[in-house]
């Protein structure tokens, strides 16, 4: 026969201070654990959502990022003539040849500089990225020194807001619009006219090319064509995969560091739970003896104390998760050291993180409660009753 759940739960209320301290410690551990996972998930989501399934990015072989890549006009022309590229309504091919550079801009809050991506785009570049839409101001006029800024850049950097001017490449550029790219990596970029950018930065080649496939399944064939052409030193990647790869190092770093920290912290919390449960067992020796005398089995005692520890863990887990979910309102902006450019992303709570965090919390309760519960279950009835 099992010991009623009520008995287990009321024990926690009877020792309020101890319960609060122990569950509080666990809640902090779960909070740190969950926020770190949320950060890594947010970064991945931002960069994965940046790509479209049927878009292909072309960069110079082994250059890894757009900024390091270079494609001259001759090579660009060859790529542009591929038969697998979608032809838009106006008869032009949906290809965007883009110069991409980094410039140093000071942050609004701290005044400290960070690298921001400047991308030269054409009409095709906009058509290829339907998630990008203007929310304030207007589009830049091609052929002028006008630019539009992504939402996080407009909010976060000096001179990048609507109507303000930026100075780079010996020119003043007016920000005439702010665009929202739906929480993708483009939110952290500034866009201007591609030809203007080439002239301003004195480049005669592009950094990367983006085009849409008529049939997304033809990607492998197109990739082989491009990479086996002896005139080209380029590589092609699906846009989705290209951006996902750029988040790998940073999100791995965040989750390794976070998991490492959480494991160390959990040792502290487990010890806290163990101390609490040992004390709980010791102070109830008489009660345990009585319960055994009444006919409750050793297994029932073990279950009751383990249940108490698990409940403690669950309480901590829930409090920690509530705290962590409040973090969703925040977004964080830092340098992605793979691309050397600023990227803004937010804490994202996924069902998977909720489940993992709760399992983690229950695990802490179980590990901390097992030995004390075993001690309670092993007590001899006579000794326990005499101790009381």
Which residue carries 């950060």 as its tokens?
A: 39
Give the residue among 216, 181, 207 at the shortest CA–CA distance from 86: 216
Token digits of residue 246: 């750029």
- Looking at the DSSP bridge assignments, the partners of residue 167 are 172
Residue 6 interacts with another protein (CB under 8 A)? no
The nearest distance, CB 26 to another protein, in angstroms, is 9
First-last CA distance in the chain: 24
Pick 182 or 323: Cβ nearer another protein = 323
Token digits of residue 33: 């654990």
Output the CA–CA distances (angstroms, integers) from residue 140 to 92, 132, 147, in the order listed. Answer: 21, 14, 6
Residue 272 interacts with another protein (CB under 8 A)? yes
Of 38, 43, 50, 60, the residue at the interface with another protein (CB under 8 A) is: 60
Site string for another protein, 84-123 (x = CB under 8 A): -----------------xxxx-----x-xxxx--------
Pick 52 or 280: Cβ nearer another protein = 280
Size of the site for another protein (CB under 8 A): 57
Q: Which residues contact 311 (CB under 8 A, 6 or more apart)?
A: 8, 9, 12, 365
User: Under DSSP, is residue 65 helix (H, G, I), strand (E, B) or coil?
Assistant: coil
**Helix or strand (DSSP H, E) at 252:** helix 239-283
User: Under DSSP, is residue 231 helix (H, G, I), strand (E, B) or coil?
Assistant: coil
The nearest distance, CB 379 to another protein, in angstroms, is 16
Residue 16 interacts with another protein (CB under 8 A)? no
- Looking at the DSSP bridge assignments, the partners of residue 179 are 134, 150
Residue 137 interacts with another protein (CB under 8 A)? no
Pick 113 or 182: Cβ nearer another protein = 113
User: Residues in the site for another protein, rule: CB under 8 A?
Assistant: 17-18, 21-22, 24-25, 28-29, 31-32, 39, 60-64, 67-68, 101-104, 110, 112-115, 168-170, 201-202, 204, 233, 254, 257, 261, 264-265, 267-269, 271-272, 274-276, 278-279, 283, 332-335, 337, 340, 342
């Amino acid at each position: 026969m099992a010991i009623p759940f009520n008995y287990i739960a009321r024990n926690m209320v009877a020792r309020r201070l101890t319960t609060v301290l122990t569950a509080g410690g666990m809640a902090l551990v779960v909070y740190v654990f969950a926020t770190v996972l949320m950060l890594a998930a947010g970064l991945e989501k931002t960069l994965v959502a940046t790509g479209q399934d049927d878009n292909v990015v072309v960069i110079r072989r082994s250059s890894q990022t757009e900024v390091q890549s270079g494609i001259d006009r001759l090579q660009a022309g060859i790529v542009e003539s591929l038969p697998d590229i979608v032809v838009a309504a106006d008869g032009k091919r949906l290809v965007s040849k883009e110069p991409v550079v980094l410039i140093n801009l000071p942050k609004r809050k701290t005044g400290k500089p960070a690298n921001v991506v400047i991308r030269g785009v054409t009409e095709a570049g906009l058509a290829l990225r339907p998630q990008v839409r203007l929310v304030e101001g207007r589009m830049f006029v091609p052929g002028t020194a006008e630019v539009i800024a992504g939402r996080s850049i407009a909010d976060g950097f000096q001179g990048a807001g609507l109507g303000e001017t930026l100075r780079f490449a010996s020119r003043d550029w007016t920000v005439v619009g702010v665009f929202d790219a739906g929480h993708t990596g483009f939110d952290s970029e500034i866009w201007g006219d591609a030809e203007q950018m080439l002239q301003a930065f004195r480049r005669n080649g592009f950094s990367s090319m983006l085009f849409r496939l008529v049939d997304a399944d033809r990607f492998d064939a197109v990739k082989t064509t491009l990479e086996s052409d002896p005139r080209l030193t380029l590589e092609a990647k699906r846009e989705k995969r290209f951006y996902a790869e750029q988040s790998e190092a940073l999100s791995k770093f965040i989750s390794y560091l976070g998991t490492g920290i959480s494991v160390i912290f959990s040792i502290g919390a487990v010890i806290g739970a163990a101390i609490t449960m040992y004390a709980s067992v010791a102070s109830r020796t008489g009660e345990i003896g009585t319960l055994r005398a009444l006919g409750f089995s050793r297994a029932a005692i073990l279950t009751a104390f383990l249940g108490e520890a698990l409940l403690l863990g669950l309480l901590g887990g829930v409090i920690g998760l509530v705290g962590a979910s409040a973090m969703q309102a925040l977004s964080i902006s830092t340098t992605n050291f793979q691309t050397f450019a600023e990227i803004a992303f937010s804490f994202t709570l996924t069902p998977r993180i909720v489940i993992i965090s709760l399992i983690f919390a229950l695990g802490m309760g179980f590990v901390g409660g097992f030995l004390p519960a075993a001690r309670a279950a092993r007590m001899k009835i006579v000794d326990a009753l005499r101790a009381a």
